[in-house]
Amino acid sequence: MSLLARFTHVANNYGKATALGANPFKVRMEKVISPTEAIVNGRQTTLAGTHNYLGLTFDADCIEAAIAALRQEGTGTTGSRVANGSYSHHRGLEDELAEFFGRRHAMVFSTGYQANLGMLSALVGPDDHLVIDADCHASIYDGCKLAGAKVTRFRHNDPADLEKRLRRLAAEGGNKLIVIEGIYSMLGDEAPLREIVEVKKKYGAYLLVDEAHSVGVLGERGRGLAEAAGCEADVDFVVGTFSKSFGSVGGFCVSDMEGFDLLRVASRPYTFTASLPPSVMASVRAALKALQERPELRRKLHDNAALLYGELSRSGFTLGPVVNPIVAVRLEDPETAIRFWNGLLERGVYVNLALPPATPNGWSMLRVSVSAAHSAKQLMHIAAVFRDVAYDLGILEMPVRAAAF
């Protein structure tokens, strides 16, 4: 039997997804023009599926900082910080992150994925319990596997369900670490953090919040859901990524936990990975500065999200429950979603295709991510193209006046 034979069902689904047009998993950005535009299949395309929330990928200060670091410190660190040492940017970035979040400690990882792997695998062991929201990201599920702790899921965004499961675990020994996200990447909905904090306190558990999609997006200063909900002191660990609002790559964790620095040698995904190159960290530091000094970016992001959400909602699409920069458009079935995604791409609009089992409740969706860099004109265009495709596929009925032409 072939080594890959166990992926037969994956191959079948993959075949179905690619048979209806372009390959949704292999889109080639032939030329990236700006945070919101690229050439795809020779066509000028509006990007609405890149989670570039603050639009900083082409920010002049971020680019200049990266170039300067590249010239001064070279292209890469060629190894882990444990083996090759920490560059000034590693500690500089960690100090600035700790200060930004008002925490005693910060630790930088090479990707957001590794930040979850690195934290979960080091914080708990086989005698402990991870209690995770059912809709958590794959990196959290993979971190759970690496941790070896007993893993219990609770129903998405349901504090009463969390409490029920913690109650069942109350008699068992070991620490309990609750893991949730700030904004969930599929539907754009937020965790009911205050209620979850109440349950956490009642059962003496710890709480880790992955704010990958909410740092730079939520909170008066952009510190994420914990800031927006006013419960930062009750969140033991905040994990985040540099690949969304910060416009680069990498991940981090901040905390006030005593002994946090031990994780630098206890967390294998941290210890045994090549560290971030200086140029990446320099651009992230510039992005962190922009995030703090330019709150207008966050305001623009929310105005843009409201504009697109309103347009699509009024058009008759079924959307995620909250207005956030992730606008999830629910469709009937995988085939409709794939056809819709192709229709958009053929008309020059790029969004994310999200199919089960990666989606909650087995839904088929298109995930649109809004950026502060989108103009109102671009967003109106995206909404108009969504309507066009929906009319073509018979999902929405064309308004009488438009149909008369």
Pair 332, 364: CB distance under 8 Å = yes
Closer CB to other proteins, residue 161 or residue 388?
Answer: 161
Ramachandran angles phi, psi of 142, nearest 5°: -70, -35
Binding to other proteins by residue 160, rule CB under 8 A? no
Contact in structure between 165 and 196 (CB atoms under 8 Å): no
**259 binds other proteins per the rule CB under 8 A:** no
Locate the DSSP E strands across 150-233: 150-154, 176-181, 206-210
Size of the site for other proteins (CB under 8 A): 16
With binding defined as CB under 8 A, does residue 394 bind other proteins?
no
DSSP assignment letter at 326: E
Binding flag, residue 165, other proteins (CB under 8 A): yes
Cβ closer to other proteins: 165 or 367? 165
Which amino acid, residue 103? R
Q: Does 152 bind other proteins (CB under 8 A)?
A: yes
Smallest separation, CB 154 to other proteins (Å): 8
Query: Which of residues 31, 71, 168, 202 is near other proteins by CB under 8 A?
Result: 168
Residue that is written with structure tokens 């995930």 in the block: 367
Q: How far is the CB of 358 from other proteins (least distance, A)?
A: 8
Among 19-27, 32-40, 163-171, 370-378, the segment contacting other proteins (CB under 8 A): 163-171
Judged by CB under 8 A, which of 67, 134, 160, 262 binds other proteins? 134
Strand order through the sheet with 129-133: 105-109, 251-255, 237-241, 206-210, 176-181, 129-133, 150-154
362 touches other proteins by CB under 8 A:
yes
Using the rule CB under 8 A, which residue among 28, 164, 194, 201 binds other proteins? Answer: 164
Site string for other proteins, 261-300 (x = CB under 8 A): ----------------------------------------
Per the structure block, which two tokens stand in for 26? 């292999």
Which among 16-24, 113-121, 145-153, 264-272 is the span making contact with other proteins, rule CB under 8 A? 145-153
For residue 218, what are its two tokens? Answer: 């939520």
Give CA separation, 239 vs 70, 122, 257, 355, 377, in Å: 27, 14, 14, 26, 34
Does 150 bind other proteins (CB under 8 A)? Our answer is yes
Options 90-98, 165-173, 189-197, 251-259: segment touching other proteins (CB under 8 A): 165-173
CA 40/CA 38 separation, integer angstroms? 6
Q: Which is nearer to other proteins, 144 or 282 (CB)?
A: 144
Q: What residues are paired with 47 via a beta bridge?
A: 350
The amino acid present at 324, given as its one-letter code, is N
Binding residue for other proteins (CB under 8 A) from 15, 42, 173, 357? 357
User: If binding is defined by CB under 8 A, does position 330 make contact with other proteins?
Assistant: no
Letters for 85-124 (x = contact with other proteins by CB under 8 A, - = none) are ----------------------------------------
Residue 130 or residue 282: which is nearer to other proteins going by CB? 130
Q: CB under 8 Å to 352, separation ≥6 — which residues? A: 49, 366, 367, 368, 369
Residue from the set 153, 264, 268, 330 that interacts with other proteins by CB under 8 A: 153
Q: Select from 32-40, 147-155, 220-228, 297-305 the region that touches other proteins (CB under 8 A).
A: 147-155
Does position 16 interact with other proteins (CB under 8 A)? The reply is no
Q: Which is nearer to other proteins, 172 or 293 (CB)?
A: 172
Question: How far apart are CB 208 and other proteins at their closest, in Å?
Answer: 17
Q: Count, in order, helices (H) and strands (E) of the chain.
A: 16, 15
Report how far Cα 58 is from the mean position of its chain's Cα atoms: 20
Among 68, 356, 392, 395, binds other proteins (CB under 8 A): 356
Whether 383 contacts 311, CB under 8 Å: yes
Please give the Cα distance from 108 to 213 (Å, whole number): 17
Could you write out the three-class secondary structure of 80-131? CHHHHCCCHHHHHHHHHHHHHHCCCEEEEECCHHHHHHHHHHHHCCCCCEEE
- 91, 155, 289, 294: residue in contact with other proteins (rule CB under 8 A): 155
Q: Are strands 237-241 and 326-331 parallel, antiparallel or unpaired?
A: unpaired
Site residues for other proteins per CB under 8 A: 129, 134, 144, 150-153, 155, 164-165, 168-169, 172, 356-357, 362
